[in-house]
Amino acid sequence: MIIVGALGLLYAFCYSTGALSELGQSFEMVGSNKISAFTPAPGKNDANLYTDIQGFNTMLMYFGIAMVLLAVLLYITASNKRRNYYVSNYVSTGLCVGGNIVLSLVALIMNAGWKSEFLNVDFAAWKQHYDNLEAILGGSIERHYSESTLWFDLGYAVYAIIIVASLALLLNLIWKVMLMRGEKKLLASNELAGGVV
């Protein structure tokens, strides 16, 4: 659980790279203001999407930190090595499973929304901006343009892995309960057999 929590945190650190990073380099300074270097068609997004998405990126970072802390709670309650589980073990496991699944579902839903916003960027205007610059400058320029949705798509895999790991932790808890019940029955039958002899 610590590993998948750290994976969620790492994903948050990488979220604004790739195409979003390229979009973030498509600003021009006008006085002290940063404005999009290209003007989108009505209803389309421009470079300001990069600024708008930063709040969600920060939220993903907090989600990753929360997931790691929930996993640490399992170690604090010694859920990894206790022969018998106590209330604290059930609570920590429940918090970790529930917290990770809820945070992952929220991240998945919001990531899908932001991917949709990114796909609504006016890519034609963005590309035309660099074509115009190249024509004006009369040579090759460093282009910052990409339509890749790689980092949005990786989010689906990352949070699916976290959900699967959380469900595996829940199955581990059920298995542990079955083992404890089996052990109690075995001890009870041994005591009964010892009393008869």
**Number of structural domains the chain divides into:** 1
Evaluate the CA torsion angle 121, 146, 149, 16 in order and state its sign. negative
Q: What is the pLDDT of residue 194?
A: 64
113-156 tens-digit pLDDT: 999 999 999 999 999 998 888 888 776 777 788 999 999 999 99
Q: Determine the structural domain holding residue 33 and report its residue range.
A: 2-196
Which residue stretches of the chain have pLDDT < 50? 197
Q: What is the pLDDT of residue 197?
A: 45
- The span from the CA of 153 to the CA of 108, in Å, is 10
Ranges of H-type helices in 15-149:
19-24, 48-52, 54-76, 87-119, 123-137
Q: How many CB atoms sit inside 10 A of residue 64's CB?
A: 24
Name the nearest CA neighbour of 30 among 47, 7, 45, 49: 47
CA 129 to chain centre: 33
First to last CA, the chain: 48
For tokens 């798509």, the residue is 153
Contact 25, 169 (CB under 8 A): no
- The span from the CA of 11 to the CA of 13, in Å, is 5
- The span from the CA of 59 to the CA of 65, in Å, is 10
Contact 166, 93 (CB under 8 A): no
Q: What is the pLDDT of residue 36?
A: 94
Name the nearest CA neighbour of 67 among 175, 162, 178: 162
In terms of C-beta distances under 8 Å and separation of at least 24 residues, what long-range contacts does 21-29 make, across chains too? 22/144, 22/145, 22/146, 23/47, 23/49, 23/50, 23/118, 23/121, 23/126, 23/144, 23/146, 24/50, 24/51, 25/144, 26/50, 26/126, 26/129, 26/144, 26/145
